[in-house]
């Protein structure tokens, strides 16, 4: 009899445990059903979550200047708001409103002096909205230009050798429009497929201090002539005005000088050379983000430059035997005119 009661108790316990386990199993299965699809959710703490699997191939190294890896399309450090390289024309071209990615957008002619007071004659916007037709303008000094540039993604110079990365920040229009030379030459030339972009790089200043430095550049499809604005290193603030200067070096006060250099770079006999150096004019920072901070990749900037004059480097006004354009500013050997 005793054995019967022991067996009965064992069977009862087994039945209770089985029911409890089944109930727990049912509860676990119910709790695993999500309220919505989480598959596309990006968690800012994902890389530090010990429960999440770590994929070293997709880690974000966007702040590492030496990183030249091709970022994945889903990388949050890369903007996806730029024109498709296979469809370079701005979408709104022809609606009479200048929009992002356009240099101009109007069939109405204007006078070239509206772009630079040292130009004369009429001009109008090209049909693809990428530039003004400068071929009908004339100039009063050796070289003149107007710049209007805006980008939503500033590139890192250490990475622009990667074509996929470079495409994220390039804009298929001509930010620089102008004329130069003893014999009249204008830029951009029709159909040269210019791209414009902003890039930030390291700068080692006085006493070895490291700062970031902003450049705005324009390259035609064949690469030349290339235009660049080199800003004094350091922080940049919306509303700031930078003065074009051909002879002053960046020194201890660096960006407090608010200087910017303009260069017209060409290629002759297989070597890059300098054809023009900025002499006078102003570059205005219309907007910048992040404001008043050292610029690494990402961020945005918009600039406007009017009445910029430039000269062949040995013909800059005011130069004499004691005042020459320093090699640091020239940066390249002289082109032949």
How far the first Cα of the chain sits from its last, in Å, is 119
Let me know if residue 204 belongs to a domain.
yes
Domains of the chain: total: 1
Please give the radius of gyration of the chain, using alpha carbons only, rounded to the nearest integer.
30
For the chain, the average pLDDT equals 77
Higher-scoring residue by pLDDT: 85, 164: 164
Q: Which pLDDT value is given to residue 206?
A: 67
Let me know if residue 290 belongs to a domain.
yes
Q: Which pLDDT value is given to residue 68?
A: 38
Let me know if residue 169 belongs to a domain.
yes
Question: pLDDT band at 319, cuts 50/70/90?
Answer: confident
**Of 133-147, 150-164, 240-254, 310-324, minimum mean pLDDT range:** 240-254
Let me know if residue 221 belongs to a domain.
yes
Are 123 and 178 spatial neighbours (Cβ–Cβ below 8 Å)? Answer: no
Let me know if residue 292 belongs to a domain.
yes
A 10 A CB-CB count for 315 gives 13
Question: pLDDT band at 252, cuts 50/70/90?
Answer: low
Let me know if residue 149 belongs to a domain.
yes
Q: Which pLDDT value is given to residue 91?
A: 72
Higher-scoring residue by pLDDT: 180, 72: 180
Q: Which pLDDT value is given to residue 22?
A: 46
- Mean pLDDT of all residues in 190-218: 88
In tens, the pLDDT along 49-86 reads 333 333 333 333 333 433 433 333 333 222 323 333 44
Q: Which pLDDT value is given to residue 5?
A: 54
- Give the residue numbers spanning the domain of 124: 93-314+321-330
In tens, the pLDDT along 233-243 reads 888 899 999 99
- Mean pLDDT of all residues in 225-236: 93
Let me know if residue 67 belongs to a domain.
no
What dihedral angle (degrees, nearest 10) is formed by the CA atoms of 149, 130, 199, 164? Answer: 150
Let me know if residue 180 belongs to a domain.
yes
Distant-in-sequence contacts of 137-141, Cβ < 8 A, 24+ apart: 137/112, 137/179, 137/186, 138/112, 138/179, 138/184, 139/179, 139/180, 139/184, 141/309, 141/311
Q: Which pLDDT value is given to residue 89?
A: 61
Are 274 and 263 spatial neighbours (Cβ–Cβ below 8 Å)? Answer: yes
């Amino acid at each position: 009899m005793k054995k019967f009661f022991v067996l009965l108790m064992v069977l009862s316990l087994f039945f209770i445990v089985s029911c409890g386990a089944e109930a727990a199993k049912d509860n676990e299965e119910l709790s695993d059903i999500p309220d919505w699809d989480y598959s596309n959710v990006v968690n800012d703490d994902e890389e530090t979550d010990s429960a999440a699997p770590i994929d070293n191939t997709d880690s974000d190294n966007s702040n590492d200047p030496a990183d030249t890896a091709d970022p994945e399309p889903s990388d949050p450090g890369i903007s996806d708001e730029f024109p498709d390289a296979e469809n370079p024309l701005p979408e709104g071209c022809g609606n009479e409103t200048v929009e992002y990615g356009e240099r101009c957008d109007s069939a109405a002619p204007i006078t070239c002096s509206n772009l630079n007071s040292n130009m004369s004659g009429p001009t109008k916007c090209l049909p693809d909205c990428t530039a003004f037709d400068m071929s009908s303008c004339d100039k009063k000094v050796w070289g003149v230009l107007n710049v209007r540039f805006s980008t939503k993604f500033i590139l890192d110079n250490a990475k622009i050798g990667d074509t996929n990365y470079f495409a994220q920040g390039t804009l298929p229009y001509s930010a620089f429009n102008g004329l130069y030379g003893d014999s009249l030459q204008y830029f951009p030339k029709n159909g040269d497929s210019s791209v414009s972009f902003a890039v930030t790089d390291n700068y080692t200043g006085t006493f070895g201090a490291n700062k970031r430095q902003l450049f705005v550049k324009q390259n035609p499809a064949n690469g030349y002539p290339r235009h660049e604005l080199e800003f004094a290193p350091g922080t940049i603030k919306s509303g700031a005005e930078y003065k074009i200067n051909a002879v002053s070096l960046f020194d201890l006060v660096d960006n407090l000088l608010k200087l910017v250099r303009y260069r017209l770079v060409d290629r002759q006999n297989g070597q890059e050379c300098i054809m023009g150096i900025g002499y006078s004019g102003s570059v205005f920072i219309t907007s910048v983000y992040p404001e008043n901070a050292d610029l690494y990749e990402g961020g945005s900037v918009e600039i406007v430059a009017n009445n910029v004059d430039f000269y062949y480097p040995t013909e800059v006004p005011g130069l004499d035997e004691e005042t020459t354009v320093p090699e640091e500013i020239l940066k390249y050997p002289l082109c032949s005119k």
